[in-house]
Amino acid sequence: MGRANEQVYYDLIPSQNSMYYMFKFSLHKNVMQIPTSITVDAKLDEAIMKRAMEIEVQRNDCLRLRFKRTGDSIKQYFLSSVPVKEIPVVSFSSKEEEEAYLNEDAQRSVKFLRGETYRMTLFTNCEGHSGIYFNVSHIIMDALGISVFYADLFAVYDALKNGKDLPEPLARYEDAIQKDLAYLKNTKKYEKDKQFFIDYWSNHGKPFYAGVHGPDLLLEQRRKYKDPDLRVPDAYDLIHDKCDIVRRHVPPEQAQKLFNFCRETNNAPENVLLLGMRTHCSSINFRTEDTLQIVMCSRRATLQTKHMSGCLAQPLQLHTVISEDKTFKEALGIMFNVRTQLYRRADFPYMHARKLQMEILHYRNSQGPSCMMFTWLPLAFPEVNGMHISFRSHNPGRYIMPMYVFAVPTLEDGGMDLYYLHRTSYITTEHIDAMHRNAVKVIMEGIDNPAITVGELLDSIS
């Protein structure tokens, strides 16, 4: 942290550094943005919504973050106030026109180093319903930060429209930045967490890359490098990073069955969903017992942080070895235990944990054992004056990893959407459909019979 002319400059915190790393080493800078939209089944008052956005910028301090280069590093600072640029208002005559317009913007870089940290558009769809499109740099917001933003924006809109008091202010992201920077100076805590990751990568063997696309890439590189024991291929390609996004719906009866199971057994939905996906990946990769997925931890465990926007999430590498004789219930327990250990060290910088992994397991930058990243996004938009709110994610066009999966409850029907952002050079829609279908099948069978073994589940989808 530094101070010049009364302006306080902060280093990036670990969560932001993970995002900036993607930006810094990617040829296509749109890898570091999150384009989303929400639609309401009504017509919004556009003038009031624009006023709500002006107020939101003052309430949500991450929207007032700005960045500057200082040598080889990036510094950030908060502006005390920011005028909101004119927000475009557009109308669409068809779903195809809407999709084309929003996707074009989704794939245009948000230039955070030039003072543009987000773009917003108000729109009316072909059914006459209002929507808000929001494309934001990942360096100022993560997925849950976006959820907080949308919820607070609509709460402000509701207050303005109905003459009510404004809702309670959001917690300050600046406080979280100060706390994270203080953690890095806490040598005792940092070194203790560092030792955990040294042991984590040293004592459990080399993970196996169980790709959603099957073993072809691995087998090809075993031949290329003349290494029949190669376990992790070069899957991080900075050139062939074109991506697409597909959405698959889990109907209400299956989604509610999963949610009820989680409540009854004290399981997190992400734990159950990951076990389903993991089982499919195992089935198409020699029935491997060893897989690794990256889980995005929101790091919002307190009431204050749950009422805070900004970028706080950290990637955690969930490495599990689950033998076929384990039951569905036991497999969930293994994943829960590893996940819990990682969550307890969620403040430790991902980039530091990744560096330790590379040093201990002798990986190149292009090697990573994770076949996917996963986020559980528990959106909870209440009705606003009887309006129902639906969420969508859009395709940024480029992505650094093979696949990013995030799951979102669909409040309009009680179901759940899974978004699969995938590299088109490796993964096809057919690969995604197979994983989605088998993951849901595994989960439903496991919920019906928690004593079923992993081997039996593998047999049922092989």
- pLDDT digit string (tens) for the chain, length 462 residues: 544 446 899 999 999 999 999 888 888 888 999 999 999 999 999 999 999 999 999 999 999 999 999 888 899 999 999 999 899 999 999 999 999 999 999 999 999 999 999 999 999 999 999 999 999 999 999 999 999 999 999 999 999 999 999 999 999 999 999 999 999 999 999 999 999 999 999 998 899 999 999 999 999 999 999 999 999 999 988 888 999 999 999 999 999 999 999 999 999 999 999 999 999 999 999 999 999 999 999 999 899 999 999 999 999 999 999 999 999 999 999 999 999 999 999 999 999 999 999 999 999 999 999 989 999 998 766 666 778 889 999 999 999 899 999 999 998 889 999 999 999 999 999 999 999 999 999 999 999 999 999 999 999 997
In whole angstroms, give the CA distance from residue 98 to residue 90: 9
**Domains along the chain?**
2-175 (3.30.559.10), 187-461 (3.30.559.30)
Element holding 407 (H helix, E strand): strand 403-410
Count each helix (H run) and each strand (E run) in the chain, helices first: 14, 15
Which residue, 293, 288, 55, is CA-closest to 152? 55
Which residue, 367, 431, 444, is CA-closest to 405? 431
In whole angstroms, give the CA distance from residue 161 to residue 288: 57
Instruction: Name the token pair of 142.
Output: 């993560």
Dump strand ranges (E) for 279-353. Answer: 290-297, 314-321
In whole angstroms, give the CA distance from residue 410 to residue 459: 31
Q: Are 78 and 8 in contact (CB under 8 A)?
A: yes
pLDDT of amino acid 4: 43
Sheet containing strand 65-70, edge to edge, reads 2-4, 7-11, 73-78, 65-70
Strands 89-91, 118-124: parallel, antiparallel or unpaired by DSSP?
Answer: parallel
What are the residues whose beta carbons fall under 8 Å from the beta carbon of 47, sequence distance 6 or more? none
To which residue do tokens 């169980």 refer?
Answer: 210
In whole angstroms, give the CA distance from residue 329 to residue 294: 21
Instruction: Name the token pair of 200.
Output: 């984590």
Tell me the β-bridge partners of 36: 134, 393
In whole angstroms, give the CA distance from residue 66 to residue 56: 16
Compute and round to an integer the Cα radius of gyration of the chain.
22
pLDDT of amino acid 462: 75
pLDDT of amino acid 315: 96
Query: What is the b/e burial string over 238-259, where b = at least 16 CB atoms within 10 angstroms of the residue's CB?
Result: eeebebbbeebebeeebbebbb
pTM of the complete model:
0.94
